Amino acid sequence: MNNLYLVKDDSQLDAFRDFVVRNTEKLEGYQSFLKNELAVCDLPQAVIWSDFNAATQIIRESAVPAYTNNRRMVMTPDLAVWKELYLYQLMDYECSEQTQAIESHYHSLSENFLLQIVGHELAHWSDIF
């Protein structure tokens, strides 16, 4: 699986590359799990690590900056983007103890949350589902 980058500047490229480097071992371990336990024979040819705009408007019109098809997976590894997306969902709700708890949870999301999204997208490649 190739890592490709669709970014707007060098700092974004550095940040996305750093994310991939920091998590390569985890991603490779999960790919082995998928192959051994969930009958994944083929993986995407490439992961396109892109910013929100590229993922949702340039590559494909989509409200969510993570998706896969029969050739590639697209993912925005910018945690701030994901926090903003999740917090945006709360805007239509009145402030309550529950919404405050959810908001607090969204603010506390970590890089592991991004790995969960990547894992979800890679699980689509399983022949079991």
115 belongs to a structural domain: yes
What is the span of the domain harbouring residue 46? 2-77+111-123
Tabulate helix, strand, coil % of the chain (nearest 5): 55, 15, 35
Average pLDDT of adjacent 10-residue blocks, the chain of 129 residues: 96 98 97 93 95 96 94 97 97 96 98 97 88
In a domain, 88, yes or no: no
Total of domains in the chain: 1
Q: Answer whether residue 29 is part of any domain.
A: yes
Is 33 a member of any domain?
yes
Predicted structure pTM score: 0.91
Phi, psi of 63 (to 5 degrees): -80, -20
